[in-house]
Amino acid sequence: QVQVVESGGGLVQAGGSLKLSCTASLSSPLAFDDYAMGWFRQPPGQRREGISCISWSGANTVYADSVKGRFTISRDNDKNTVYLQMNDLKPDDTAMYFCAAQASNGISCDLEEARMDYWGQGTQVTVSS
């Protein structure tokens, strides 16, 4: 069993920054580096979309075009935590942000929602203009 909990959301002005964290709790013998991790978001009234993911080792990352160059995903396997550094935030970034884990030892990761195995409850990010 894997549980993931997001934190770090909040209210920020346009142009500002936030750093989201997602910490996983795993039942033995599962290990955090058995999982690729992804960040998704769901704006009000819209579908959830994948915005970034990172392979189990951290060597490979993927970004949606909407966040490329502004957001950076990283992970610390010793802390069972994945991060999303969000810079130059825009009002369109307002959404509930979700962390998800995908059992994978592949070299890459993907942003397919249906392929994620575990989800957090989300953390709200609101960007004011």
The answer on pLDDT for 106 being more than 90 is: no
- pLDDT band (50, 70, 90) for residue 1: confident
The token duo for 48 is: 């959830």
* pLDDT at residue 75 in the model: 98
* pLDDT at residue 28 in the model: 84
Q: What is the mean pLDDT of residues 84-95?
A: 98
The answer on pLDDT for 123 being more than 90 is: yes
- pLDDT band (50, 70, 90) for residue 43: very high
User: Which of these, 45, 48, 97, 46, lies nearest to 71 by C-alpha position?
Assistant: 97
Amino acid identity of 88? D
The token duo for 28 is: 């033995």
The token duo for 22 is: 């997602």
* pLDDT at residue 68 in the model: 98
